Amino acid sequence: MNAFSPGTEGADSTVMSFFFYPDGTQTIEAEVVVNYSGLPLTADIPFGLKVIKEGTTATDDEYDLDDQYVFRARPLNEGQLNIQDTIKVHLHLSERLKSLDKGVRLLVELVPGEGIGVGQYERRRAVIISSYVAEKPGWWDKEVELTLLGRYSSTKYKLFVEHADPTMSMNKQMIEERPDLAIGLVMKFKEWLIANPGQEDEFGSITVVI
């Protein structure tokens, strides 16, 4: 959204985690939406991205930017004032990243190509967060700890997603309105743990409460 005072609005953030990818994944892609407003494009327009070092904690080996990005020309519908495109930034796994609970921050800024400008200050930049672990989901509260899944750990959550809930359907609404479905997912996870004993996290053997 536009800031009431130019330059005061925070940049959009894209949060990416290697947690949700298969073990051994070394590179993932963060998708960033870019917007164009103005006269209809008659040709593709190249532009770039640059890293703002003072807002970045990621090291050079933890990301890659393309030398050039392209905003693709397309017809506008009647009354349409802007169009969107999506570009990708490559994020690399490092040994350092594995030890950082909050991950690293990459701040990028649009670099205009020939014949175009950039918009308001706060809409020129985007923040990409790259991490190795997943943030604890909001639905995994004290009640879920006591009645369903037990103590949270990122290792337990990853195993739960991989072997019981690959579509990540578990949420607060399911727990409150369809507890039978939530219990079913936990039972499926429990059956997998029984069939695959010895699973451990930082707290010891992984178990569920139900």
Of 41, 165, 121, nearest in space to 157 by CA: 165
Give the Cα separation of 160 and 185 in Å (integer). Answer: 9
In what order do the strands lie in the sheet containing 69-71? 12-17, 125-131, 104-111, 45-51, 69-71
End-to-end CA distance of the chain: 44
Q: For 110, list phi and psi in degrees, rounded to 5.
A: -65, 140
Is pLDDT at 77 greater than 90 in this prediction? no
60: left (phi over 0), alpha (psi -120 to 50) or beta: alpha
What pLDDT sits at residue 120?
Answer: 72
Q: What is the tens place of the pLDDT at every residue in 169-205?
A: 999 999 999 999 999 999 999 999 999 999 999 999 9
Question: Tokens 């802007």 correspond to what residue?
Answer: 82
Beta bridge partners, 64, equal 90
* Residue 52 pLDDT grade (very low, low, confident, very high; cuts 50, 70, 90): very high
Q: Which of 5-9, 10-14, 81-85, 95-99 has the lowest mean pLDDT?
A: 5-9
Q: Which of 38-42, 46-50, 95-99, 157-161 has the lowest mean pLDDT?
A: 38-42
DSSP string, 99-158: T-TT-EEEEEEEE--TT-----GGGSEEEEEEESSPPPPTT--HHHHHHTS-S--HHHHH
What pLDDT sits at residue 22?
Answer: 85
- Domains along the chain? 12-131 (2.60.40.1740), 142-205 (no CATH)
